[in-house]
Amino acid sequence: MITGATAGIGRATAFALARHGFRLGLVCRSRAKGEALSEALRAEAGAADVALFVADLGVQTDVRRAADEILAGFPRLDVLLNNAGVFQTRFEETADGIETTLAVNHLAYFLLTDLLRERLVASAPARIVSVASNAHRFARLDLNDLEFRNRPFGAMRVYGTSKLLNVMWNAELARRLEGSGVSANCVHPGGVNTGLGDQNGGVLAQVGGLVKRFLRSPDKGAETSVHLATAPQLVDVSGRYFANCRERRPSAAARDAAAQAQLWELSEALVAGSASPAG
Ligand SMILES: NC(=O)c1ccc[n+]([C@@H]2O[C@H](COP(=O)([O-])OP(=O)(O)OC[C@H]3O[C@@H](n4cnc5c(N)ncnc54)[C@H](OP(=O)(O)O)[C@@H]3O)[C@@H](O)[C@H]2O)c1
């Protein structure tokens, strides 16, 4: 199951996993793009079986509905690949009233994984792979202001902070999954030539045109995600951060176990509002 496969690194990852022979599930926000991708995966990568789940990952009721559909459609789940992400240049809120970067880059990973967790455990050995970034080193963590409501909205700082949350959450998730047969690892894909941030227009899109020539291709950017999803020697490796298919040490902030536990509690509270009274 892969999120954000309609473009960039996710698209390249989906093609690579199709060539590995996986039955694929795609979580996409645009049905038209998802259908075009499914068709391309069948025609160009020989994917025999592709299922599409339409959800805006910034909307928690969409995430919950997609999870229900996935649970109904997939009796086993070997790999969950949290990949969809955004780079916002200005403060915006989702329909849930949550700052968009936090909602899409962190809370969607948190909520979708939580909702699919029992299915992954029942399918063990299984793997959770989450695309973070080396940009986590530019983060400014304030657990009292995860949405940047009370401080200046610096695009790189906000994005980097969301990616720091990916690394911190991954470590806590791995701890909570210990002994279950499900691993959780996260990835820095490198600097990759994708459309990340283009939707915002402005300076980033213009400067991006120059900078992008020096970035790696989406196929190259997908390599570490695919490695973590498939390499047999990694079956017992969990809670780690990888780049270029090798383990790396994340920042000191990312390794703070007390902050990781606190982030978990805060994230639970931020998704609780969208749960039905029955849970
Ligand atoms: N590019 C880099 O250099 C780089 C470096 C480090 C980490 N990363 C990480 O890599 C991951 C993939 O990024 P990318 O560079 O491949 O970007 P991209 O080309 O912009 O692709 C982003 C994907 O996420 C999907 N998406 C965005 N918001 C969504 C939402 N609300 N609901 C559902 N899907 C949504 C997009 O769907 P649409 O097609 O509908 O827009 C698209 O499929 C991200 O987590 C990013 O932070 C990228």
| Structural domain boundaries enclosing 106 | 2-190+218-272
Position 228 in a domain: yes
Position 65 in a domain: yes
pLDDT at 207: 62
What's the pLDDT tens digit per position in 154-207? 999 999 999 999 999 999 999 999 999 999 999 999 999 999 988 766 555 656
Q: Which of 117, 119, 169 is nearest to 146 (CA)?
A: 169
Output the domain CATH number for residue 108: 3.40.50.720
3-state secondary structure of 29: coil
State the Cα–Cα distance between residues 274 and 279, nearest whole angstrom.
9
In the numeric block, which tokens belong to residue 90?
A: 């200005």
Contact assessment for residue 223 and residue 245, using Cβ atoms and an 8 Å cutoff: yes
- The Å distance, Cα 179 to ligand 1 centre, comes to 31
Position 204 in a domain: no
Q: Is the pLDDT of residue 134 over 90?
A: yes
Residues with Cβ within 8 Å of 35's Cβ and at least 6 positions away in sequence, in order, are: 52
- The Å distance, Cα 85 to ligand 1 centre, comes to 4
| Torsion angle of the four alpha carbons 175, 61, 143, 165, in this order, in degrees rounded to the nearest 10 | 50
- The Å distance, Cα 200 to ligand 1 centre, comes to 13
Number of domains within the chain: 1
pLDDT at 205: 63
The DSSP output letter for 6 is T
Position 120 in a domain: yes
What's the pLDDT tens digit per position in 203-259? 556 566 677 778 999 999 999 999 999 999 999 999 999 999 999 999 999 999 999
Burial of 136 (0-12, 13-18, 19+ CB in 10 A): buried
Q: Which residue has the CA at smallest separation from atom 18 of ligand 1? A: 196
Position 203 in a domain: no
Q: Is 245 left (phi over 0), alpha (psi -120 to 50) or beta?
A: left
Classify strands 246-248 and 241-243 as parallel, antiparallel or unpaired.
antiparallel
Q: Which of 88, 84, 145, 115 is nearest to 274 (CA)?
A: 115
Q: Structure pTM?
A: 0.97
Position 209 in a domain: no
pLDDT at 1: 98
Q: Which atom of ligand 1 is nearest to the CA of 84?
A: 24
What's the pLDDT tens digit per position in 13-67? 999 999 999 999 999 999 999 999 999 999 999 988 999 999 999 999 999 999 9
pLDDT at 276: 79
CA distances (Å), origin 116, targets 77, 86, 127, 182, 259? 9, 22, 12, 12, 24
Position 208 in a domain: no
In the numeric block, which tokens belong to residue 99?
A: 């700052």
State the Cα–Cα distance between residues 122 and 147, nearest whole angstrom.
34
pLDDT at 198: 82
Q: Which of 11, 131, 164, 242 to mutate to test the pocket of ligand 1 (most atoms within 8 A of CB)?
A: 131
Listed range (72-86, 154-168, 186-200, 262-276) with the worst mean pLDDT: 186-200
